């Protein structure tokens, strides 16, 4: 209770007491990249039209398809188009496929926006853009291909910003002998660029939403105690599967519902603080159990008169009751000392 209260005072909401014990024991933290290691706010950095379409037309077409999506990439495209005061018609038959992209109709023609697999699975030729796409991927940018009327019209490059303290968080975890792992739906070059920037040595790229839970489960089957950090609806199954699910406060309600611990300030350094709090809380619990056992192993025999035949020592009932009360007070006092400890 004391540990949970300290967490709440520091904007770390611990939904159940057992989470403090579990987080003290974890040896692996799995980060979903977008919104945890990165800010989750993308910017359109490159526009490459193909054929007779120009930059503005390609951006407008992409924004039309992205207008009904809540994906960070889609939101960034729409924001960029609105910042340029572009307007567009409403799409029909909107469909969003997790891990692939968007399919819809725009002005009665098929519009597709998404990754390479979406294009190739629908027989859209993107060969003219592959070299440029490789350059963007090497720089760690995410790519949105755009097909209209079954013809590739170009691609957009978008870049996310890595959180300023992400590298410090990873370094702190490594000092605590906790393995840091990153999972992302991005391709290999983009995933490698981000993981290298924050010094995460182990990562999984091109991960589909349904595979995140399987990755967490795989680590558990290898005997690891796993904490999962995420903020999106696609992270919810993995958060629920993990020994401790840690949800970012700015994330979706579904993610927060699945998480055992919620970081209300959206500061991922609070992951390290929560682990330290858990370890110190667990240490206090062990201290209290030791002293309670030690006290009772001596006090109960004395109260029962075990020493009276040998030394004439007895304990009156009222004194025994007072001693028992003092024992409880000492345990509570020791627990409250946790408030004086710094876990930052």
* pLDDT score recorded for residue 142: 86
53-92 per-position pLDDT tens digit: 999 999 999 999 999 998 889 999 999 999 999 999 999 9
Q: Which two tokens stand for residue 319?
A: 């004194």
Out of 14-28, 98-112, 195-209, which region has the weakest mean confidence (pLDDT)? 14-28
Catalytic residue among 27, 32, 214, 253: 32
With b for 16 or more beta-carbon neighbours within 10 A and e for fewer, the 77-106 pattern comes to: bbbbbeeeebebeebeebebeebbbbbbeb
CB 141 within 8 A of CB 151: no
Contacts of 47 (CB under 8 A, 6+ apart): 55, 58, 59, 154, 156, 157
203-233 per-position pLDDT tens digit: 999 898 889 999 999 999 999 999 999 887 7
First to last CA, the chain: 19
The answer on pLDDT for 252 being more than 70 is no
Class for domain 2-39+162-274, per CATH? alpha beta
pLDDT tier at 299 (50, 70, 90 boundaries)? Answer: low
CB 112 within 8 A of CB 129: no
3-61 per-position pLDDT tens digit: 566 655 667 888 887 888 899 999 999 999 988 999 878 889 999 999 889 999 999 99
pLDDT tier at 253 (50, 70, 90 boundaries)? Answer: low
Higher pLDDT, 173 or 160: 173
Q: How far is CA 191 from CA 44, 98, 206, 304, in A?
A: 18, 18, 9, 68
The answer on pLDDT for 171 being more than 70 is yes
pLDDT tier at 307 (50, 70, 90 boundaries)? Answer: low
* pLDDT score recorded for residue 160: 85
- Does the pTM surpass 0.85? The reply is no
Query: Tokens 């891990």 map to which residue?
Result: 99
CB 135 within 8 A of CB 143: no
* pLDDT score recorded for residue 87: 96
**Helix intervals (H) in 37-186:** 55-66, 72-83, 116-121, 130-138, 166-175
- For the domain 43-159, what is the CATH code? 3.40.1110.10
- Kindly list the domain boundaries of the chain, sorted by start residue: 2-39+162-274, 43-159, 277-340
- The answer to whether 32 is a known catalytic residue is yes
Q: What percent of the chain has pLDDT over 70?
A: 78
CB 85 within 8 A of CB 170: no
Q: What percent of the chain has pLDDT over 90?
A: 52
* pLDDT score recorded for residue 318: 64
């Amino acid at each position: 209770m004391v540990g949970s209260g300290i967490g709440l005072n520091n904007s770390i909401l611990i939904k159940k007491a057992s989470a403090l014990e579990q987080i003290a024991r974890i040896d692996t933290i799995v980060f979903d990249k977008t919104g945890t290691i990165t800010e989750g706010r993308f910017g359109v950095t490159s526009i490459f039209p193909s054929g007779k379409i120009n930059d503005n037309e390609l951006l407008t077409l992409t924004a039309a398809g992205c207008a009904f999506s809540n994906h960070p990439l889609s939101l960034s495209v729409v924001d960029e188009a609105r910042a340029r005061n572009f307007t567009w018609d409403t799409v029909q038959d909107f469909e969003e496929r997790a891990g692939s992209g968007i399919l819809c109709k725009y002005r009665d023609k098929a519009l597709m926006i998404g990754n390479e697999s979406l294009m190739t699975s629908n027989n859209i030729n993107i060969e003219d853009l592959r070299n440029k796409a490789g350059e963007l991927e090497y720089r760690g940018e995410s790519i949105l291909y755009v097909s209209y009327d079954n013809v590739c019209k170009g691609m957009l490059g978008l870049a996310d910003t890595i959180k300023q303290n992400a590298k410090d968080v990873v370094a702190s975890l490594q000092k605590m002998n906790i393995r840091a792992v990153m999972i992302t739906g991005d391709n290999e070059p983009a995933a490698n660029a981000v993981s290298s920037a924050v010094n995460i040595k182990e990562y999984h790229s091109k991960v589909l939403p349904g595979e995140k839970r399987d990755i967490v489960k795989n680590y558990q089957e290898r005997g690891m105690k796993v904490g999962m950090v995420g903020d999106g609806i696609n992270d919810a199954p993995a958060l629920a599967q993990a020994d401790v699910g840690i949800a970012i406060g700015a994330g979706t309600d579904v993610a927060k519902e699945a998480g055992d611990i919620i970081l209300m300030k959206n500061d991922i350094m609070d992951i390290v603080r929560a682990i330290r709090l858990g370890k110190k809380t667990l240490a206090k619990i062990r201290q209290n159990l030791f002293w309670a056992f030690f006290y009772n192993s001596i006090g109960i025999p004395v109260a029962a008169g075990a020493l009276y035949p040998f030394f004439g020592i007895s304990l009156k009932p009222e004194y025994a009751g007072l001693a028992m009360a003092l024992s409880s007070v000492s345990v509570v006092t020791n627990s409250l000392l946790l408030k004086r400890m710094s876990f930052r």
